A = this chain, B = another copy of it.
């Protein structure tokens, strides 16, 4: 069994576990830094290793367009291409096809769209996307799904969810077909296909989706999709609770695209194990800094002479060396090191939350730990970005 999920401790619905993959273990709860184009923006793989990141993300849509998934395969697969020998998960591109690409035509076969880069016509089907993800060679691959806006009505949400489930069956079939093809010169490592539970903000659709997905196969893990896409926070937390009940407690759950500090903490309490979010790097590039006391923006003049680190409670490679005044100077002067230091700090911040959560669960204190954490983070947040 190349994939295993072993739960070592529980604290309420929160779990501490180890997800084993062909490229090593992922201790959960885990935050997965996003490396859309085979690089976590502004960071070096060595930074991520130093911070203790285990699994990172790549994106099938983006890598298909640039440099091309066949080129990545030629170059030894994503791990070798980007020099990352720990686990990788690839997103299927479902979200990007529906958010970035232009002139979409969706039907049962798949999605025809124009590349956001050069307008070239492309056709993604469940089969094509499985081929792309196999070329990339990640450890965990996500199904191709039909993504809809967060507040979609019941009828649209139902249609998209049911289509996603039909596409899931095609994904599984294609993965099995690809696995049966004798490996070329190099051995192809096994990949874990995760289905994605959709259903918008409609509890019964989420429950139905989880049930039907479970009937198809004994999946190695589950994605929870279509959240943090415009709906209310409370609706999101409610949907996570519904899915927590509807999925097997024994398997890993990945809440896709969610990764603000408060969301990670609330979702861990509701049984989620894996997270990803571009916020730490994207917001870092705009000067936003996560701290234990809330967010601040380093560009503000008040930090001009501030000798304190970005977050006095942080031991990352930015905070252990540089002052707010220096990082502010780098930002104001458009120096790349500024982007790097904030990305580094923010990603480290999310990784630390996941580690803190894990330790609290092991001690059986997740409830107290998360309440204290959120209370300090929320009440003191003086400088929203």
Contacts and interface: CB of A to CB of B under 8 A. Distances in A.
The 8 closest A-B pairs by CB, nearest first: A67-B329, A83-B321, A39-B337, A42-B336, A39-B335, A37-B333, A66-B333, A75-B325
A332 B37 CA distance: 11
A38 interface: yes
Given A83-B322, A326-B38, A326-B81, A71 B304 contact: yes
A336 B75 CA distance: 21
A116 interface: no
A83 B75 CA distance: 38
Contacts of A307: 75-76
Interface of A: 37-39, 41-46, 66-67, 71, 74-76, 81-83, 304-305, 307, 317, 321-323, 325-326, 328-330, 332-333, 335-337, 339-340
Contacts of A66: 329, 332-333
A317 B328 CA distance: 28
A309 B256 CA distance: 35
- Report the copy number of this chain in the oligomer: 2
A39 B340 CA distance: 12
A337 B75 contact: no
A77 to B, nearest CB: 12
B325 A71 contact: yes
A39 B330 contact: yes
B339 A43 contact: no
Given A39-B337, A42-B337, 19 more contacts: A37-B329, A37-B333, A39-B335, A41-B335, A41-B336, A42-B336, A43-B337, A44-B340, A66-B332, A67-B325, A67-B328, A67-B333, A75-B305, A76-B307, A81-B323, A81-B326, A81-B329, A83-B326, A340-B340
B336 A340 contact: yes
A337 B44 contact: yes
Contact of A75 (B74, B76, B323, B339): B323
A37 to B, nearest CB: 5
Contacts of A340: 44, 336, 340
17 contacts: A37-B329, A37-B333, A38-B326, A41-B335, A41-B336, A41-B337, A44-B340, A45-B321, A67-B328, A71-B305, A71-B325, A74-B305, A75-B305, A76-B307, A81-B323, A81-B326, A340-B340
Nearest to A343: B336
A340 B42 CA distance: 9
Nearest to A42: B336
